Chains A and B, each alone.
Chain A
Amino acid sequence: MQKHENHENKSLEALKDSIIQKGVSKVLEERLAAGGLKRQKLFSEEALKEIKQKYEEWMNILDEKTRQSFSRPFYTILGSKERLPRSLIYTPLDVSELDYLNDIGFSGHPPFTRGIHPNMYRGKQITIRPIVGFGTPEDTNKRIRFLLSHGATGINIVFDLPTIQEYDSTHPYAKGQVGLCGVAIDTIEDMKLLFENVQLDTLSVSLTTHYPSNTMILTAMFLVAAEEMGYEWRDLRGTVQNDPVMEAVVRTSPESLPPTAIFKIHVDNMEFLRLNVPKWNFVTYNGYNLREAGVDEITEIAVAFSNALEASLEMMRRGYQPDEFLDRMAFFWGIGNDFFLEIARMRAARRIWYKLARYILGSSSSRSWWCRFHVQTSGISLTRVEPLNNIARSTLHALAGILGHAQSLHVSCYDEAYSVPTEAAHLISLRIQQIIQEETGITEVVDPLAGSFYVEWLTNRAEEEILKEIDLIWRMGGLTKAIEMGWLHRKIAEFSYTDYKQIQEKIIKIVGVNYYESEKEDHQIDVFRYPENAEERQRIKLEKIRSERDNELVADKIEKIKEAAKDGKNLFPYVVEAVRERATEGELFEAFKQVYGLWTPLVRI
């Protein structure tokens, strides 16, 4: 990828304006019509006519009660509820306009409804990528090597709260929280300890750096660590999240940067990583955590796609062609209880993304049209009572993920509601995936549910709803604007309250909790115990580093970051320089804060 110096920004501005004025769907509609696509209906008119006749006869024999509630909403945890009511039965009449080639097509071929690769799971098995991270880097390093020896082909690192929120382990805010729920990383030395004796050039490494600002810092540390361990950046494979919505909306923190700063750093990360680490996925738009925070299946995708569109337009403004960066964009969805909707919306997502990438952004390479996504089975759908039931729930979620053709999958562990998973729980999750893949034959056939009247109808409806919401977001001026105005925070606050009430009122049924309620509290599972005194161990390391490094040089490098920020430059290379000199994460975040100031979101109920 290279920057094009004489790029045309006027047409970009015009595009952005028309999306804001008319909405994305309208612009899409116009461009598709201009493309002159010819549609051919799958079902013949005669067949449909006859079916309609018989259908009406059939309706008349239904009893009154069934006819009254023929179509009704189904209530699940954080589900679309009244947005997508379901009918008792689906027939060709529900998808009478179906055009096989234009709406469904072949796997690996536009519109990609059936999957992004022709041979899907036969060609590449789902990457098994378990989550790992706790205590100090030394502690986590041991678990990484355990999982790799038991068949994991990728690794997903989670960080502790101080690291995620960008405070050093010695910061007063970090007190009592170091090494809990994730691994503590303060400097590049910690990164080296984390990956000691791990082959980085054959492993796919996912760094769960949720936010743009911590992505920049932690990825810089990873890259410099890998370099010092003898690897070339061009050989490294992996993923980071780098999602502005995570930083600005999903999480809460004592200190937060303003949304516009977060968005800028987000695109800085994309630009730098695309140019310097070619095999790296520089963004994973995180629908999973947004969903778990309190939105439904539709909003999850609408927000992620709006985010991706906004970032793409910014990349284009900086002078890059869409085909130069779209192929590395990735998404991350959660899978909840509404089995068929989960599958349908993944198919819809692929179709929508193809249209957006091709007709809105104007990309021409098919690699740019793929909606690549990782899925994780929903944590919030798992219960604290009768925790072993969660194995059944996660299995169903995993099945939906596989039928929806995710590129990679993480199955949440059954002790989710208690704490970070134990080794035993972790293993079961791994086995669930392996059993589905190896024992059931499900992955032998591409998109087996295609052609189901219900699934195709639901895919169409999901697409409609998602596009409607993307339109809404753009009419507000784009996602960053919508966030600044508090739209997304308010949505989450209201929706999660509604959900909660519906659980209380048994409108949403949860077995063992409000249906077939559990008789006794189930306390027999083993709960993971965090290793002690991670905080102390990190403190000792930090003191040593601070005394051994060239403090003046570090201060100088940090000043350069601030200057670059004021000049509107890409901050990543400056952060890399500071990291080399052993600047700590806290020091780097401090620099961001000083330049961009702080922002408190408008949460009102």
Chain B
Amino acid sequence: MDASGENLSLKRIKVLIAKLGLDTHWRGAITVAHILKNAGMDVLYLGNSMPEDIIEAVIDEDPQVVGLSSLGGAHLSLGEKVLELAKTHNLHNTKVYVIGGVIPPDDEQKLLKIGYDLVFGANATEQEIINGIKNKLSEKGLLTI
């Protein structure tokens, strides 16, 4: 397995994408869904969800990656709750948690501290997103069963 993530395929990797809370903007989430689908991933789009619903989906759907989109300012309040529930259900270490959207720089650091593997701003490039996810999956040993 290549630590840099090069030449590793994302095929058959399942990713759950949800909008945090009542956030109304969906183009970012759908664009990322598009990118990941074209990279070979199986993308499950959950739409607007509260942390409890997200975790319920994570339990049943068992994705390797959980992606949250937040442009409504609730990334800390709700984002933290998602990870809290993930840890309670022992779903944190075995998955890659990603959050993206409109997030002030200070909050980025906070999110990484509470356990998000990756934080993306609105200008994140396709390469950054795909490589970021590949690397984290590789680190957590999730690129095989």
Contact = CB atoms under 8 A, between A and B. Distances in A.
Task: Tell me if chain B binds chain A.
Answer: yes
Interface of A: 161-162, 164-165, 167, 172-177, 180-181, 250-254, 293-294, 383-385, 417-420, 492-493, 496-497, 500-501, 504, 513, 521, 523, 527, 530, 600, 603, 605
Contacts of B35: 497, 500
A255 to B, nearest CB: 9
Given A253-B48, A254-B49, A513-B123, A164 B24 contact: yes
A173 B78 CA distance: 10
A419 B34 CA distance: 26
Interface stretch (B3-11, B15-23, B59-67, B135-143): B15-23
A294 B25 CA distance: 11
Interface residues of B, number: 35
Given A176-B78, A605-B37, 8 more contacts: A164-B22, A164-B24, A180-B73, A251-B26, A252-B47, A383-B123, A419-B73, A497-B34
Interface string B105-128: 110000000000000011101110
11 contacts: A161-B72, A177-B21, A181-B73, A251-B24, A293-B25, A293-B27, A384-B122, A384-B123, A492-B27, A600-B47, A605-B37
Interface string B63-100: 00000000011100110010000000000000000000
B105 A521 contact: yes
Interface of B: 19, 21-27, 30-31, 33-35, 37, 45, 47-50, 72-74, 77-78, 81, 102, 104-106, 121-123, 125-127
Nearest to B37: A605
Residue among B45, B74, B78 with max Cβ neighbours from chain A (10 Å):
B74
Contacts of A294: 27
Contacts of A523: 105
Nearest to A246: B24
A385 B124 CA distance: 11
Given A172-B50, A175-B78, A496-B27, A605 B33 contact: yes
Contacts, number: 112
Nearest to B30: A493
Label chain B's interface by main secondary structure.
mixed
Contacts of B26: 251-252, 293, 603
Nearest to A527: B104
A384 B125 CA distance: 13
Nearest to A294: B27
Contacts of B123: 383-385, 513
Nearest to A501: B126
Contact of B74 (A176, A521, A600): A176
A603 B48 CA distance: 13
List the 6 closest A-B pairs by CB distance, nearest first. Answer: A176-B77, A251-B24, A180-B73, A161-B22, A252-B26, A254-B48
Contacts of A167: 22
A94 to B, nearest CB: 35
